[in-house]
Amino acid sequence: MKDLAQLLMAPGEAAAAGGSGGTEAAVLLALYGWPQEPGLIFTERRADLSKHAGEISFPGGRRDAGDADLTATALREAREEIGLDPAAVEVSGALLPVSTFVTDYLVHPFVGLVGPPGDLGLEPNPAEVETVLTFSLDLLREGYEMRRLVRRGVAIHTPTYEVDGHLIWGATARILGDLLSRLG
């Protein structure tokens, strides 16, 4: 099996791919159990948030002026949202940036290896995150389906992943699809 970094893009290469979006943001795909039984850590956002309320997403957010780079943004946001210590993450690479249509973000995804979720002391930030979710890559692959969703009165045909009643769609599903295709 190839080393994880060989399956991903270097962060600079991914950033150079560009994309459209007025606000730069970054997310962390915290990958555990690699390569035997890999899974990912997600957040379920609070239902009362003004943006992306109740959605399943990767920990992440807007770049702050104090962030050294977008990798630092992803690690800072993961600490703020779920209490993931940046020292517990081995960043292996990046994926292509993804644009969000409604909020006009350009999201830069970074993939990092972490230990078993139960050993990480993860705690959802009650101001932003309803709960921390973990799903195996096998369950995510099984839950893939192209669906017709209606959002803000507009019908869209989009990739989705459904696991245990949780629907992953939008930018998160597009990022997840890129990762799964690279991992084979």
Say how far apart CA 89 and CA 105 lie, in whole Å.
24
User: Are the CB atoms for 162 and 168 separated by under 8 Å?
Assistant: yes
Residue partners of 100: CB distance under 8 A and separation at least 6:
21, 107, 170, 171
What's the mean pLDDT in 38-44?
A: 97
Digit-coded pLDDT (tens) for 128-178: 999 999 999 999 999 999 998 777 777 888 899 999 999 999 999 999 999
**Alpha carbon 107 to chain centroid, angstroms:** 9
Dist. CA 157–CA 146, nearest whole Å: 7
User: SS3 for 72?
Assistant: helix
The DSSP output letter for 101 is: T
Find the range with the poorest average confidence among 13-17, 83-87, 101-105, 115-119.
Answer: 101-105
What are the structural domains, with CATH classification, of the chain? 4-183 (3.90.79.10)
pLDDT digits (tens, 9 = 90+) for 62-84: 999 999 999 999 999 999 999 99
Q: Which two tokens stand for residue 166?
A: 């949780």
Confidence check: pLDDT of 1 > 60: no
**Tokens of residue 9, six digits:** 């893009």
Q: How many CB atoms lie within 10 A of CB 59?
A: 29
Please, which residues bridge with residue 119 across strands?
A: none
| Residue 36, number of CB atoms within 10 A of its CB | 6
DSSP per position, 73-136: HHHHHHHHHH---GGG-EEEEE---EE-TTT-EEEEEEEEE---GGGTT----TTTEEEEEEEE
